[in-house]
Amino acid sequence: MLVSHLLRDKGEGVFTASPHETLLGAAAMLHARRVGSIVVMEQDQVVGILSERDIIRALARSGGGGLSRPISELMTKDVIYADPLETIDVLLERMTDRRIRHLPVVRDGRLIGIVSIGDLVKAKIAEAEAESRHLKAYIAAG
C-alpha cells in the first residue's frame, strides 16, 4: 500500500504550530487534539517537528520553567519526510531505523499530511486481514 492511499483513507489534516509558540502551548495543542506530534511551520515551509518526547526532555532538563521556551529551541530541525508514492513497508523500516513515530508527508515541497507508526501498523494489519479473507475464499471456492 502506498502512503497516498493511506492519506486518502485517513485524511490529510495536519496540526501545525509556529516555531515561536511556547512548549506549554504546544503541550496544550497535543493534548487537545490527541496527537503525538506537531509539524512546525513558518509561512508555508516545514521548519521542524515537535513530539511529546521533546517536551518530556525539556521538562527533565529544565523543570517546569522549560515550558516557557519557544518550540524552535527543542524541535527536531532535520525533519525526515515521507513521499506519497512510498510504500508502508519502506516507511515502517525508516521509522524503526530512525526511532521516530511521525513522518510528515511532502509532495512537490508542500506538506500534504502526516503518518504515525500507529497508522502504518493499522494499515499493515488491514492488508494482512484482507489477504487472509481472499485466501480463505479462494480455498473455499476449490
Each domain of the chain, given as residue ranges in start order, spans 3-141
**Cell 480455498, residue?**
139
Query: How confident is residue 55, by pLDDT bands cut at 50, 70 and 90?
Result: very high
Classify 85 as helix, strand or coil.
Answer: coil
Question: Is this model's pTM higher than 0.95 or not?
Answer: no
Average confidence (pLDDT) over 18-29: 96
Residue 139 has a pLDDT of: 87
**Which CATH number describes the domain made up of 3-141?**
3.10.580.10
Q: Is pLDDT above 80 for 41?
A: yes
What single-letter amino acid sits at 72? S
Residue 86 exposed, middle or buried by CB count within 10 Å (0-12, 13-18, 19+): middle
Within 10 angstroms of residue 71's Cβ, the number of other Cβ atoms is: 24
Residue 131 has pLDDT above 90, yes or no: no
Q: For residues 61 and 105, what is the distance between their CA atoms, to the nearest angstrom?
A: 31
Would you say residue 51 has pLDDT above 80?
A: yes
